[in-house]
Chain A
Amino acid sequence: MYDIASIYQATSVADAIRALQADPGAILIAGGTDVLIKIREGKLAGCALVSIHELGEELGGITLADNGDVEIGPLSTFRDVTYSPVIRQYIPVLGEATDMAGGPQLRAAGTIGGNVCNGITSADSASTLMALDAVLVVRGPAGERKVPIARWYKGVGKVDLAHDELLVKLVIPRENYAGFTGHYIKYAQRSAMDIATLGVSCLVKLSGDKQTAEAVKLAFGVAGPVPMRAPAAEAAVSGLPIEAAIENIGPAALQDVNPRTSWRASREFRLQLVEELSGRALREAARKGGAGV
């Protein structure tokens, strides 16, 4: 039994916003795989919950908009994202990334919205969403606003979301995925049920002859306090012949990252992984795009 003061089951997004406004201490709960664990740990013990778990109709669904943008309801579970025909067809790398979180049961409960809103650097969807320059649509009492994911993360566990706001949509603009192929590497101690020691997501747009990496996007989880892009590496290799890009991206990425030493892994080890895995991620992304590498 959880130490919960109360649980309010919101009937709509508007109702949830009202409930959050009414109780400045309330905690929003969606899939529960994060919040319930914090309650049990004592960090959130005794809290009042506002549940949006049952708002799947309003906050679920993954669709292709008329303009070609991919729109993801934040209550989509990792599993929903992975098995979504839209994701499989247009942004398979995102579905591959969400398929590496935890284990199957967790992926059936945890949501992509929760993964983004908890602000954790190791979140398996986050680095790919960073590479895709996802746009987060947030709704509060004053209406909706759009936050580019590059401006979303404010610090460890902190995101640009007010207490009475809800993430209501994740948008992947067409131009950010069209023509790109991507690959996500989750480096962890185990092959399942683990958190990333390092997450690397790489997108590449190849030239027509598949020889050149015209555009490269690289993002990391756990290479710093929050998920991050690697602008120096991207600049250094975009436009290079693909083999040269693969060779150079790792060393270049070292300028972008700032991992820390924790009991889980040392800074030096993480730097080695950044250097080695950036090239591997780019190689796989290029392969998926048809490069003979």
Chain B
Amino acid sequence: MSSRGRNIAVFAIVGILIVLFFVADVLLGSAQLHVGDIWAVLTGRPGIASDPSAYETARAIILKFRLPKAAVAVVAGAALSASGLQMQTLFRNPLAGPFVLGISSGASLGVALFLLGLPLLGAGATGDIVRNLGMAGSAWIGAALIFIIIMAVSVRIKDIMVILILGMMIGSAATAFIEILQYFSPEGALKSFVIWSMASVGGVTAGQLGILLPVCLAGLLLSILLVKPLNMLLLGENYARTMGLNISLTRTIIFLSTTLLAGTVTAFCGPVGFIGIAVPHIARMLFADADHRVLMPGAIMLGALIMLVCDIISQLPANDMVLPINTITALLGIPVVVLVIVRNRKIF
């Protein structure tokens, strides 16, 4: 089949680009590092560095900052895209995604309640591990609650526009709540929250990475297990059920996977929009296929690639300034979404 050969070629190109942009993301940054020093660090040979102190600086920047940042970009992009593809097929809606449906907002509200609400009650978390787990846990709970609301409504109301509008209302409500919390919050808690809400893949600490990586990998594994159920759901629930699909089990796995993926990414990178909604469409355009055996790995890889690109763009303004990554994802994602709306082609 010629389309299969073409898809393999696209996969190969995207794979190569991920490696290239990953390396570029590690090489580029506000601190000017010598390429030779970077190479010395990456190969673990201090002898070939320009001088020992340069080696130590480069080592610290790369291992503590740039490598984790690039890894977070890859995982966050993959996670949000996989979750977006699941949402679009489950709700049979080309405009669905964790951000649009309010699931990311739910996670944000969870984090806000944890970072701002607890200190207000005089019970701020102490210690890194407690704080990190608390942020992740509150994001999961927030994402899960919104997902349950959206699912409960979608069972009763079949109109997809209603679901989208409801998601946006939930998002606005969450933002309003967060603003009220901010208004009453002391400066210290407020500052850490504002930094969080600017969304960045660079602010993730080693301890947070230790939660983000395994949890997102688990969520991505569930996404791969969902490939066949999602293909059956393409034809609609009646067809899927009469072909023996256990709908409630499938919904539960999608629920778990999306809560883990969108919740964890939101907990540690902040509210990153438009990746989840736009990347599945880019995958559909590039692969010219609707089969999730192609689309799911395609969206996961493209999400990783696009997030790396966004991270590189976010640090383009030289000196120390780094743009919030959600502004870049919005500027890249919105044209794709607009294109989907304007073409008005039925995807479901």
Tell whether A and B belong to one assembly. Answer: no
